[in-house]
Chain A
Amino acid sequence: MTVHLEPDSNIPNQRLAKQLPVHWREFAIESLIRVAGVSTIGFVALILAFLLLEGAPAFWQTSWRVLLGQRWYPIFGIYGILPLVLGSLLVTAGAVVIAVPLGLATAIFVAEIAPRWLREILKPLIEVIAGVPSVVLGFLGMVAVAPLIRQELGIPTGLTALTGSLMLAYMALPTIITIAEDALDAVPTTYRDGAYALGATQWQTIWRVIVPAARSGILVAIMLGIGRVVGETMAVMMVTGNAARMPMELDAILRPVRTMTATIAAEMGEVARGSTHYHVLFVIGLVLFVLTFIVNAIASLLTIGARERRGGRLMR
C-alpha cells in the first residue's frame, strides 16, 4: 500500500508545512491521539470509581445478608438484589438464544448467498432497525406482542421474560448482523477460491472455511449484541411486567421478571440523594458494570485465542 505523505491541493496546509518543522506537527497529532486513547481508560476508571464511591455506603447501611436476599421492596428497606440479577440474566439469555442463530444466519445470507442487488437493499434496511427507539419497540411489545403471547401460550399474563427477550433480540439483531456481516466480508476471496478449487460445495465453504475464518469478528458481534441486551432499559421496563420475583421455576421464562436496568430506571427518580435506597441502586449499577466487564473479558480472551489459532494454521 502506498501512503500519500504530501497533502495534495490543500494550500493552507502546505503553507503551514513550510513554516513549521514536520516533526512538530507529527508530535502534536501523535500526542492528541495518545491523549484520546488514554482518556478512554481514564473515563472507565472514573465511572468505576464513582460507582464504588456511591455504592459502598450500602454495604454498611444494610448488610450482605439483606443485599443477597430474595425479596426486593425498597420502600420498606428490603433490598434483596438477587431476583433482579437473575431476572436480567434470564431475559438476556433468552434474547441471546433467539438473536444469535437468527443474526448469524442473516449475516451469512447477506454476505455470502444473497445476490448483490438484494444485499444493497437488505443492508440499509437492517441498519434502520437499529434506529428504532426502544420506547417505540416497548410500546409495540406491550400492545401487540404481549397479548399475542398470552393467548397463544395460554399463560396468565403476556408481560413475561419471554416477551422481553423477544423485544431485546429484535434490538440486538442489527448489531449482530452488521458486525458479523463485516467480519464474513473481510475473509479474503482466496479462501473461497481455494475451497471451491478443492471441490467444496457452497455450504461446505461457508460452514467450514468462511465462518471459522471470521470467528473472531463473529464473537465480537455476539458480545456487542449481548452488551446491548444487558444494558437495554426502556423496552424491558414496559414488557417484562417488573415483578421482582425469583425466576427459579422451569417455566420462569413464561412469568414476569424484573431486571436490574428497569429497577434503576423506575426508582432513581424517587430516591432521595444519600439514602440507603440510593446507594443500593448504585450497587445494582456496579453489578451491571461487572457483568458487562466479564462478558467483554470473555470476548477478548476468545478472540485472542481464535486469532492465534488461525495465524498458526496460516503460517504452515
Chain B
Amino acid sequence: MVLVPQSQRRPSQRMKSTPIRGIWACMIFCLALSACRVPEGTSPTPGAAQTIQNKGSDTMVNLALAWAEAYTAKHPEIRIAVTGGGSGTGIAALINRTADIANASREMKPEEKAEARANGIEPVEHTVAGDAIAVVVHPSNPVDRLTIDQISDIFTGAITNWSQVGGENRPIVLLSRESNSGTHVYFLETVIRKGQPDNNALFSPDTLLMPSSEGISNEIRQNPNAIGYDGLGYVTPDQKVIAVGVSAAGPFVLPNATTVKDGSYPIARFLYMYTAGEPTGAIRDYLDWIRGPEGQAIVAELGFVPLAEEKE
C-alpha cells in the first residue's frame, strides 16, 4: 500500500448533509409505512350504530369475517369487529368483558367456565359450524393414508422417519399450531391421546409451533419432510390431504362435508360461539342469522361443514 495523499484522505469535518439526509430518508420511509397501517380495534362510534366485538379462534377468523361482511351488508346499523388470536384468547376476552362473542374451535374448559362465573358471567354455547381437522403433507410425499395410531406415534416422536410409515427415507418434520390454539388442544386430545382420558402423551419437543395457519401451509407447501394439521377451511390444493383410518384394516377416509356429516371421518369437531349469558337484541339476531340458511351457505362456501338441518 502507498501513502494516501492529503487531498484524497477523508476531511476531518464530515459533510453536514449526510446525517440529515439519513434522517430524512428514515422519516420518509417511516411515514410511508405508517400510512399503510390501519388503526387497530374499532371503537364503537357514537350514534345509532351498534358494535359487536367478535374475537377468538384463528381457524374461524375467515369464516367470522365472511359472516360479518355479509351480515353488515344487509344491516348497515350493525358493526362487527372481528379479531383472531386463538380460542383461548377469545374466551379470555369474553371473561374480561372485552368481547361480546367469543369464537372457539373447542368447548370451554371447566376452569374457564369457573373463571367466567367468578366474574359474574354465565357463558352460553352456540354451535355454529362443523369442521374437520385435515392432516396435510407435501404433494410429493407418497404417503397417502395413516391410522390414528400412526399419526399419534409421529407427533409424539415415536416415529421419526417417513420410511417407517411407507414413505421415502426422509426425516419427519412436525408442524403444529401454538398451544393457545383450540385446534392444538383438540388434536392433542383426539389424535395424539386417541381420546383416552388417562393418556398423558404430549407433542414431541421437536414439534415446530407455527404462529399461524398460514405458517403451517407455507411450510407444508415447500418442505417435502413436513406433516401438519389444519382446519378444513385452510386446506389449499397445493397441500396433500392424508386419508385417516381408525384401524390398520381401514376404511381410510378423506375429510369433506359428507364424511364429516355421516361421522366416518374420525377427526371432526364443532365450531362454537360463546356469549355472556343468553344473547339479546342485535347479538341474538346475528347468531340466529348465522345458524340460519344464509349463514350456513357461507360455511359451505369457505370449505367448512354446515350444520345438519336437524341441529336447528
Q: Which residues of B contact A302 (CB under 8 A)?
A: none
| Closest beta carbon of chain A to B174's beta carbon, Å | 8
- Chain B interfacial residues counted at CB < 8 A: 53
- Interface stretch (choices B84-92, B127-135, B262-270, B293-301): B84-92
| Closest beta carbon of chain A to B200's beta carbon, Å | 8
Residue from A119, A147, A242 in contact with B211 in the complex, judged by beta carbons closer than 8 Å: A242
Q: Which residues of A contact B12 (CB under 8 A)?
A: 188-189
Residue from A71, A131, A256, A273 in contact with B208 in the complex, judged by beta carbons closer than 8 Å: A256
Determine which residue in A241, A244, A255, A256 has the highest number of CB atoms from chain B within 10 A of its CB, and name it. A241
For window 269-307 of A, CB contacts with B under 8 Å fall at: 269-273
Asked if A128 and B95 sit within 8 Å, CB to CB, the answer is no
B311 at the interface (CB under 8 A from A): no
Instruction: Please classify the interface of chain A as helix (H, G, I), strand (E, B), loop, or mixed, using the class held by over half of its residues.
Output: helix
Asked if B25 and A270 sit within 8 Å, CB to CB, the answer is no
A-contact 0/1 string along B1-37, CB 8 Å cutoff: 1111000011110110111011101100110010000
Alpha-carbon distance A244/B202, docked complex (angstroms): 13
For window 111-132 of A, CB contacts with B under 8 Å fall at: 111-112, 116, 119-120, 123-124, 127-128, 130-131
Q: Which residues of B contact A111 (CB under 8 A)?
A: 10
Asked if B26 and A127 sit within 8 Å, CB to CB, the answer is yes
Q: Which residues of A contact B251 (CB under 8 A)?
A: none
| Closest beta carbon of chain B to A81's beta carbon, Å | 14
B222 at the interface (CB under 8 A from A): yes
Asked if B89 and A270 sit within 8 Å, CB to CB, the answer is yes
Asked if B209 and A116 sit within 8 Å, CB to CB, the answer is no
A228 at the interface (CB under 8 A from B): no
B115 at the interface (CB under 8 A from A): yes
A143 and B18 contact, Cβ closer than 8 Å, known pairs A157-B226, A269-B86, A272-B92: no
- Interface stretch (choices B60-68, B72-80, B145-153, B178-186): B178-186
Asked if A75 and B179 sit within 8 Å, CB to CB, the answer is yes
For window 232-253 of A, CB contacts with B under 8 Å fall at: 237-238, 241-246
For window 258-273 of A, CB contacts with B under 8 Å fall at: 258, 266-267, 269-273
Alpha-carbon distance A123/B19, docked complex (angstroms): 8
Q: Which residues of A contact B209 (CB under 8 A)?
A: 241-244, 258, 266
Q: Which residues of B contact A156 (CB under 8 A)?
A: 170-173, 223, 225
Asked if A266 and B178 sit within 8 Å, CB to CB, the answer is yes
Asked if A267 and B180 sit within 8 Å, CB to CB, the answer is yes
Alpha-carbon distance A196/B39, docked complex (angstroms): 58
Q: Which residues of B contact A188 (CB under 8 A)?
A: 12
B164 at the interface (CB under 8 A from A): no
Alpha-carbon distance A203/B2, docked complex (angstroms): 10
Asked if B225 and A202 sit within 8 Å, CB to CB, the answer is no
B210 at the interface (CB under 8 A from A): yes
Asked if B3 and A244 sit within 8 Å, CB to CB, the answer is no
Residue from B17, B26, B203 in contact with A130 in the complex, judged by beta carbons closer than 8 Å: B26
| Closest beta carbon of chain B to A44's beta carbon, Å | 26
A201 at the interface (CB under 8 A from B): yes
Alpha-carbon distance A143/B222, docked complex (angstroms): 9
A-contact 0/1 string along B195-235, CB 8 Å cutoff: 00000001101111111000100110011011000000000
Q: Which residues of B contact A27 (CB under 8 A)?
A: none
A150 at the interface (CB under 8 A from B): yes
Asked if A196 and B3 sit within 8 Å, CB to CB, the answer is yes
Closest residue of B by beta carbon distance from A204: B1
For window 19-39 of A, CB contacts with B under 8 Å fall at: none
Asked if B1 and A203 sit within 8 Å, CB to CB, the answer is yes
| Closest beta carbon of chain B to A167's beta carbon, Å | 15
Alpha-carbon distance A77/B97, docked complex (angstroms): 26
Residue from A71, A142, A241, A266 in contact with B180 in the complex, judged by beta carbons closer than 8 Å: A266
Closest residue of A by beta carbon distance from B222: A147
Asked if A269 and B180 sit within 8 Å, CB to CB, the answer is yes
A159 at the interface (CB under 8 A from B): yes
A241 and B14 contact, Cβ closer than 8 Å, known pairs A157-B226, A267-B180, A272-B95: no
Residues on B close to A: CB < 8 A?
A: 1-4, 9-12, 14-15, 17-19, 21-23, 25-26, 29-30, 33, 85-86, 88-89, 92, 95-96, 115, 170-173, 178-180, 185, 202-203, 205-211, 215, 218-219, 222-223, 225-226
* Besides A128-B25, A242-B209, A270-B86, 11 other A-B contacts (C-beta < 8 A): A124-B21, A127-B26, A142-B218, A147-B222, A157-B208, A157-B223, A157-B226, A158-B223, A192-B9, A245-B206, A273-B96
- 27 CB-based A-B contacts, threshold 8 Å: A73-B202, A75-B185, A83-B205, A112-B10, A116-B10, A116-B11, A120-B17, A127-B23, A127-B25, A128-B25, A131-B30, A133-B33, A147-B222, A156-B171, A156-B225, A159-B219, A241-B208, A242-B178, A243-B206, A243-B209, A267-B179, A269-B86, A270-B86, A270-B88, A270-B89, A270-B179, A271-B92
Residues on A close to B: CB < 8 A?
A: 71, 73-76, 83, 111-112, 116, 119-120, 123-124, 127-128, 130-131, 133, 142-143, 146-147, 150, 156-159, 185, 188-189, 192, 196, 199, 201-203, 237-238, 241-246, 255-256, 258, 266-267, 269-273
